[in-house]
Structure 1
């Protein structure tokens, strides 16, 4: 197996990809000890069954530039194939501000083709290629060198089987004319906003039981400080302080180092130095926030009164549509979207794009009393009223 360690070797392999219809790509990375993922290995394979068409790219050895790979990403004549691409794309976007174009995600395509929700790579290998995967290297520390042959073979399998999986799913999509469904789903993956973390919005991820604006003001300032500190030091958020400690701090409102020392949940390292100073400043800013600028939890629309009978009918309709289309239910509509429809809301994803074609149109007709549902043996049919 070939391992590329120089920019020249990478450029040569990317040149080999020119004129090919697609290339399969995967990455190995670590994130346990950093805020941003640390790229440790890239696997790529060109069409065909030859092992010479698959390589490992080691960015941790020497001074390799990944620009030849990014040029390949920009080449719109070659499809870049990933499985469950979100974390891979985040790495490349953070590193170089580039997305593969065009992109094909076999996990998304498999959901559209009836393989279930968030189907794993191992499942697709087993069902499509009729082969198994060696799991012995699953928990490898990919930052350590040298890599063993077993680890290299494990990594390469993530792109070699992907060739057959892609060709199978692409054919299935062409036959069913559902390629545009996948393209709609991939728009989120190639949207920079998906990977842009705004420190000022970090508080929304913190679960609290109190909706007091003053309390939330402190939560917001603490979460913003933690996010900024984590990003600047490239360390995980919970290495600064965890969510439960953040909520405790917002409740106790410490104003001195002595107050911080009484915290039950705050890490010892956070009770002194820059983190302690940042905490005290954040609490101060939260307490002094003008009432008009205090954050508010999103309020439930009082007008949203869910019709439980209609919600149940929508679930029956969704199940019927799932069975007839072969598409995973949660990919079409979530439970909260069904409840929203049953309460009269119409600004839900299930009513747009390909989902409108598969489910949304009939869902609206059901809500408006224009159709009914009837049992037809073991299936459900729609009856025009």
Structure 2
């Protein structure tokens, strides 16, 4: 197999790909020690069992390799770009090149709407569709080290060669079942820049806490804002600044001096001095001085909703019936918390829009209004109009 390390060789491959109906794509990266993923390898393959398959090595290529020919291919709408579980790959290309591959096909998304279950893995699809087995021994190797071993190269290239068979099978199934719009709706989230951009100002919303005090949440907000900004600027994992448990401890103890920080049980040693310590003290101060009107509003907790238990149970039966009827994993259609929200009177949410409304949401609303009933006929559940 060819390993591309120059812009010229990459451009030659990408020009050939533009003449094809599709190209399969995958990446290998590291993220354990950085905030942003470190791109280590790109795999590409053209259609056909003997179609050209290459490895693109940005580490070995260094200054001799620009990814602009690849980005140009991504913008070329005449060739479908095929990924499996594309989210992290797309984040890399969006952060580094501000580009999305269009048109996009994600075989994990397609497999879910074709009845292969929720978040089905690549290895499963290779076994069930391509009738092959994968050697996963190189999966957790250090992809940043050079030279790559033959085993690593073989493992990496398999992620795009088998993908050709999977794509051709799933794309045919999608067309046959008329679920193209279902897949397109799911891909809309993947192709939205907001999916990959974390605003430090809203980072606090991902911190789990049972405390509802606006003042406490105000300090949490400022501590999360500083942590996210610092991690992004230094390109380190946010947990290397301080973890969530330490953040919540700081919001509770409200340290005002370095001496106060030194008494923390959960704060990393490196965070008790220097820029991080200064940032923590400033964040706590900002949270304490925040005007009452500007404090975070406590989001409505679904556990506090007045859930009609009997209706929630009926919705679960309806969901199971619809999932079996369509061959789609129940959790892809609606989650347990979404069912409880519907049973509590909420009428918005993913289950009520797009293809999910067609499959489940519309009948769920009719059930809530008493316009339909559920009946067991043999081993199946049917929806009957009243």
TM-score category of the 2 structures, normalised to the smaller one? over 0.9
2:81 corresponds to 1:80: yes
Cα displacement string for residues 143-176 of structure 1 (whole angstroms, at most 9, x for unaligned residues)? 0000000100000000000000000000001111
Q: What residue in structure 1 maps to residue 269 of structure 2? A: 268
User: Which moved further from structure 2: 152-161 or 262-271?
Assistant: 262-271
The 1-side partners of 2:213 and 2:357 are apart by: 39
Distance 1:314 1:378, change over 3 A: same
- Counterparts in 2 of 1:1-385, with a 5 A limit? 1-50=1-50, 53-61=52-60, 62-63=62-63, 64-300=65-301, 304-385=305-386
**In the TM superposition, what is the alpha-carbon distance from 1:303 to its structure 2 partner?**
9.5
**Aligned equivalents of 1:383, 1:277: Cα separation in 2:** 65
Residue aligned with 1:372, SS: strand
Structure 2 unaligned residues grouped into runs of 5+: none
- 301 and 28 in structure 1: CA distance in 2 versus 1, 3 angstrom threshold: closer
- Quote how far apart the aligned CAs of 1:302 are: 10
Determine the C-alpha separation between the residues in 2 that align with 1:47 and 1:200. 44
Change in 2 beyond 3 A, CA 1:125/1:240: same
Q: CA deviation at 1:208?
A: 1.9
* Aligned CA-pair RMSD: 1.3
Whole-Å separation in 2 of the counterparts to 1:342 and 1:263: 43
Q: Secondary structure at the match of 1:354?
A: helix
Q: Give 1:79 deviation, angstroms.
A: 0.4
Kept in 1, the 8 Å contact 2:302–2:337? The answer is no
Q: Partner of 1:15: helix, strand, or coil? A: helix
Instruction: Name the SS of the counterpart of 2:58 in structure 1.
Output: coil
Q: In structure 2, what is the Cα distance between the partners aligned to 1:247 and 1:361? A: 41
Point out the more displaced range, 373-382 or 201-210: 201-210
SS of the equivalent of 1:60 reads helix
Cα separation, 1, equivalents of 2:196 and 2:153: 29
What is the CA–CA distance in structure 2 between the aligned matches of 1:303 and 1:79, rounded to whole Å?
46
Cα distance, 1:301 vs. partner? 7.8
TM-score normalised to structure 2 length: 0.97
Structure 1 residue 305: deviation in Å?
A: 2.1
Task: State the 1:198 CA deviation.
Answer: 0.4
Measure, in 2, the Cα distance between the counterparts of 1:314 and 1:105.
30
Q: Distance in 2 between matches of 1:87 and 1:299?
A: 30
Cα distance in 2 between the residues matched to 1:323 and 1:341: 21
Cα distance change, pair 208–345 in 1 and its aligned pair in 2 (3 A): closer
Distance 1:20 1:147 in 2: 29
| C-alpha deviation, 1:358, in angstroms | 1.2
Structure 1: gaps of 5 or more residues: none
Q: How has the CA–CA distance of structure 1 residues 243 and 301 changed in structure 2, closer, same or farther, with 3 Å as cutoff?
A: closer
Instruction: Find the aligned partners of 2:234 and 2:304 in 1 and give their Cα distance.
Output: 46
Contact 2:302 2:341 (C-alpha < 8 Å) held by counterparts = no
Partners of 2:196 and 2:236 in 1: how far apart? Answer: 17
> Could you list the runs of 4 or more consecutive aligned residues of structure 1 that deviate by over 3 angstroms after TM superposition?
300-304
Q: Which secondary structure does the structure 2 equivalent of 1:44 belong to?
A: strand
TM-score, length basis structure 1 = 0.98
- Matched length: 384
Bigger shift: residues 140-149 or 59-68: 59-68
Q: What are the superposed Cα offsets for residues 186-220 of structure 1, whole Å, 9 maximum, x if unpaired?
A: 00000011111000111111122322111111111
CA distance in 2, matches of 1:283, 1:344: 38
